[in-house]
Chains A and B, each alone.
Chain A
């Protein structure tokens, strides 16, 4: 069986990877040409327009597509259209067409080389019989009779689609088939649709729960096929060809055999099939009871064609013999010992039914057949016929079967966000959802990453490392809505401008959906590690406005002895994330997008934090951010080589402040930032963030804010985590040595990893960035964290989002503009194109400003920003140090909402320190997504400058202590070339 199809091939339907179930039913009837007289069409459309009737029926059956129908009444018109347009997959003709005999018309179609099946749809049975007996009807691929139900069209479609696809689908995936043998046009016209409908309904019911909707749709393509035959030879041909995949046979007792009508052909067929496989389920239909006892003696079922309960009996046959019903455990004597309705119950019952029952079913392929009816092909193959002789004992066989089921269940849930179920949730790997509604952008990104990692077997790609997303749950957005509604918070939150008050009201809100609390309790019973509670909002879906850092993340130790305390802490954190949806920062951010605050819906991710508890400090050995596109590459690096930023401890160091080690994954040993001892000592990380594990909880009080703390790096040395990231500075020799064996101040360089390959971080990032870009179709940014203490080591994939880059083929040349005409020039510019309408400048006065006053400066900038936004004016912002840094000594600690009106930003060096551009922070992410021009001006580069003296000559509109607002009579002209990362700002003339 392994040779016949790739087991992984059929199980996954996502992405480029395979087509999986999408590869089934490849040939479809999409366009039908109906050739009929107006009256015939009138008959078909008695209940309404045929097209609409069929569409409604398609929808009712949850089928994905309905065929398009073109109707003509003239045979010659039909011929012309079929020849010229070449788009039809099926031609249905009635007996009466306007201008030509129906057989002649069909022959002309064939003669014209139009290779499309032609069906004759008769209305009157006598007329049909007359034409069949007097004329050569072999030109028709099939003849049906209209029985007053428009659904015959769907049955005709199904007939041809199954016929076209059976060979491929059986070979590729082992799709099952049911053979129906009936030569009477009236009966098979009737049965065709009846059986098809029943199969469809049964299959839809049986496709496993817990898989998402798209997966379910795909699996419908794997429904059993119905192969209609009209003769013994046709049936025998199908049976011998697809024997292993025949679910069962439904046959009339009388049909042609060896060219003549044979009134016991059905019996003969049954006997011959039973010689090959005694277990094949067979149902014989007949108009008379004459052969009933003979049929039943053969051990097969019999139903009278005119039986009032025909449909019921058909359904029973499907359930009992075609494995559509519950799996009934029996002993060899036929005594029932158990039943299983689904996979989970099958697993449970397998553990307890008598051994002889296990043996009985295993040896007869009953498990496989039952699973195949549910389109569980992979599992059916795993549970294929087993002889006890293959195993040391029946119990070993039983264990093997159960293990296969467990493995399958676990494998299937990987890469899919299933509904949370405590009994199946794996605290090491699972990522499940709670509640209804959207899971938001972040969770969707994580789910997508999970799918890629699992589909492509990346988890264990590197020896000794496990790559994956941390286990967790997503609380879907409807819970947010319900919470707001039940506590009457929405209007208050939209109108309130006091973030503390909003938080207080949210955290103190008494009502929270009870079913969600129950699930959270179950989750906390399984997971006892620290948790990160993060936003995953609807608007975070937007590729162009990633909302980086807008909403809050909370981390909780989740280690209290009393479960209620842990639940309380988690609920407080969730409510706090909900509250952050309405913080001023968020509202300001949303204002400059096309969205509205009341449109935002919040899902929340609750996920295990990657890390280890070191004497009350919980943190990963290192974490960071990596981008597949580097905005400031240094030769020989190219922009598409990407950039990674890594820090000791929690990633907050990178995304909020920007203090980290930067390297290119393709050139991990080229560390320009650390090229000299002085630079290394200046630039390297001196503190790290960790989660405090010892906390006193107070009911009703938010304790989450103070739990993330900074620690000096010598604490990491005590914990034993410095060995992966640090080197040692030896003052006597004024040199930095790899490792910790010498005495001296420790310096974070990550040389053990980047130079000595203690952990394959560059290779992992290279692979994942390429995977992410391939999957998203755009450059990406990822967040990660690593726990070296675990075995295997854990590489936690925390987030992936698209990275906006703009490429413009227009080349900009600045060399012909003299420096005197420029306000600013830089070789570290982000942005592309020309901006020529800025007349306002907000700048931090270089002569007055001190680093110690950066917070005041931030507040003053915010005032000007709000004013200019209200006036509808954007501006040029000039300041010093790293914009957006949380560390006030490294830069002006503005948040995005405080400078959201800026169109261009200049980041110049401090008087006493030069600061490198901060690619890894949320601030930087927003900068690129809002397409803000960005100039970094370094004192150390002769080709970069800013003319501060000229600013002093400009008209001051308003001023605060450290910040001034200037207005020009004519606009500045900003030109940026993002291919070369160069730019200039030209003074007005």
Chain B
């Protein structure tokens, strides 16, 4: 149960910075299984097996500016 709750939390917020996802971002993450957080610019990837979440470095703030 705690594992499920944890999964649920991840899908609502960025695991790196806690930024709340908008409804469409949640859809994108669920379907595309990857999303770049617009606040911290890290890439969130949902792996197909075991539904584990990992956060990968994407664009840095500096690069994005």
Contact residues in B for A766 (Cβ distance below 8 Å): 22-23
Expressed in whole angstroms, the minimum distance between the Cβ of B11 and any Cβ of chain A is 14
* Interface assignment of B31: CB less than 8 Å from any CB of chain A: yes
Task: Indicate whether A457 sits within 8 Å of B23 (C-beta atoms), given known contacts A3-B48, A3-B49, A6-B48.
Answer: no
Most buried by A among B23, B24, B28, B31: B24
Q: How far does the Cβ of B27 sit from chain A's closest Cβ, in whole Å?
A: 5
Check if B32 is an interface residue, CB within 8 A of chain A: yes
Q: A3-B48, A3-B49 are in contact. Are A456 and B31 (CB under 8 A)?
A: yes
A849 interfacial by beta-carbon distance below 8 Å: no
A774 and B32 contacting across the interface, CB-CB below 8 Å: no
Q: Mark A316-347, 1 if CB is under 8 A from B, else 0.
A: 00000000000000000000000000000000
B31 touches A457 (CB 8 A): yes
Contact between B32 and A16 (Cβ–Cβ < 8 Å)? yes
Chain A nearest Cβ from B9, distance in angstroms: 20
Q: Chain A's nearest CB lies how many Å from the CB of B48? A: 7
The verdict on A767 contacting B27 (CB below 8 Å), with A3-B48, A3-B49, A6-B48 known, is yes
Residues of B within 8 A of A457 (CB): 27, 31
Contacting pair B23 A770 (CB below 8 A):
yes
Q: Is the CB of A767 within 8 A of B48?
A: no
Bound-state CA distance A766–B49 (Å) is 32
The answer, yes or no, to whether A409 is at the interface (CB within 8 Å) is no
Report whether A770 and B24 are in contact in the complex, using a CB–CB cutoff of 8 Å: yes
A846 CB within 8 Å of chain B? no
In the complex, the answer to whether B23 meets A767 with C-beta atoms within 8 Å is yes
CA of A8 to CA of B28, assembled, Å: 14
A756-780 Cβ-contact flags toward B at 8 Å (1 or 0): 0000000100110011001000000
Residues of B within 8 A of A18 (CB): 32
Q: Is the CB–CB distance between A17 and B32 below 8 Å?
A: yes
User: A3, A6, A8, A767: which contacts B24 (Cβ < 8 A)?
Assistant: A767
Q: CB within 8 A of B23: which of A8, A455, A763?
A: A763
A626 → B minimal CB distance (Å): 14
**Within 8 Å CB of A458, what residues of B?**
27
Q: 1/0 per position for A431-464, CB-CB distance to B under 8 A?
A: 0000000000000000000000001111001000
Docked CA distance A705–B49 (Å): 59
B39-52 CB contact bits vs A (8 Å, 1 = yes)? 00000000011000
B31 proximity list for chain A (CB < 8 A): 8, 17, 455-457
**Alpha-carbon distance between A927 and B63 when the two chains are bound, in angstroms:** 37
What's the nearest-Cβ distance from chain B to residue A64, in Å?
A: 25
Q: Is B23's CB under 8 angstroms from A774's CB?
A: no
Min Cβ gap B21→A in Å is 11
Given A6-B48, A461-B27, are A770 and B32 also a contact pair (CB < 8 Å)? no
Q: Label chain B's interface by main secondary structure.
A: helix
CA distance A3 to B48 in the complex (A): 8
Nearest chain B residue, comparing its CB with the CB of A3: B49
Q: Is B48 within 8 A of A774, CB to CB?
A: no
How far is the CB of B10 from the nearest CB of chain A, in Å? 19
How many Å lie between the Cα of A840 and that of B24 in the bound state? 48
The residue that B22 contacts in the complex, of A17, A456, A770, with Cβ under 8 A, is: A770
Q: Which residues of A contact B28 (CB under 8 A)?
A: 456, 774
Minimum distance in angstroms from A485 CB to a CB of chain B: 45
Q: What is the distance, in angstroms, from A776's C-beta to the closest C-beta of chain B? A: 13
B27 proximity list for chain A (CB < 8 A): 456-458, 461, 767, 771
B49, A774: Cβ atoms under 8 Å? no
Distance of A6 Cα from B49 Cα, bound (Å)? 11
Q: Which of B5-49 contact A (CB under 8 A)?
A: 22-24, 27-28, 31-32, 48-49
| B1 CB to nearest chain A CB (Å) | 23
CB-defined contacts of A3 to chain B, threshold 8 Å: 48-49
A770 to B21, CA, bound (A): 12
Shortest Cβ distance from residue B35 to the other chain A in the assembled complex, whole angstroms: 11
On chain A, the residues within 8 Å of B49 by CB distance are: 3
Report A-chain residues with C-beta under 8 Å of the C-beta of B48: 3, 6
With a CB–CB cut-off of 8 A, which chain B residues contact A456? 27-28, 31
Whole-angstrom distance between the Cβ of A917 and the nearest chain B Cβ: 27
CB distance from A347 to the nearest CB of B (A): 28
Interchain nearest-CB distance for B45 vs A (Å): 13
**Which residue of chain A lies nearest to B25 when distances are taken between CB atoms in the complex?**
A770
A553 to B32, CA, bound (A): 38
In the complex, what residue of chain B is closest to A17 when comparing beta carbons? B32
Nearest chain B residue, comparing its CB with the CB of A772: B24
What's the minimum C-beta distance from A629 to chain B, rounded to whole angstroms? 15
Query: For residue A774, which residues in chain B have a CB less than 8 angstroms away from its CB?
Result: 24, 28
CA distance A6 to B31 in the complex (A): 10
Residues of chain A within 8 A of B23, CB atoms compared = 763, 766-767, 770
Indicate if the CB atoms of B24 and A771 lie closer than 8 Å. Answer: yes
Question: How far, in angstroms, from A457 to B31 measured CA to CA in the complex?
Answer: 8
Q: Smallest CB-CB separation from A763: which chain B residue?
A: B23
Contacts of A16 in B (CB 8 A): 32
Q: Give the complex CA separation of A763 and B22 in angstroms.
A: 11
- Complex-state Cα separation, A455 to B32, whole angstroms: 10
Shortest B51–chain A CB gap in Å is 13
CA distance A456 to B28 in the complex (A): 8
Closest chain B residue, CB of each to CB of A6:
B48
Q: A35 CA to B48 CA in the complex, in Å?
A: 46
In whole angstroms, what is the CA distance A868 to B24 when docked?
47
Chain A residue with Cβ nearest B24: A770
Question: How far is A774 from B38 in the complex, measured between Cα atoms in Å?
Answer: 13
Q: Specify the chain B residue showing the minimal Cβ separation from A19.
A: B32
| A interface residues, Cβ below 8 angstroms from B | 3, 6, 8, 16-18, 455-458, 461, 763, 766-767, 770-771, 774
Which 5 A-B residue pairings sit nearest by Cβ, starting from the closest? A770-B24, A767-B23, A771-B24, A456-B31, A456-B27
List 11 additional A-B contacts (Cβ < 8 Å) besides A16-B32, A455-B31, A458-B27. Answer: A3-B48, A17-B32, A18-B32, A457-B27, A461-B27, A763-B23, A766-B22, A766-B23, A767-B23, A770-B24, A771-B27
11 inter-chain pairs at a CB distance below 8 angstroms, sorted by A residue, are A3-B49, A6-B48, A8-B31, A455-B31, A456-B27, A456-B28, A763-B23, A766-B23, A767-B23, A770-B23, A771-B24
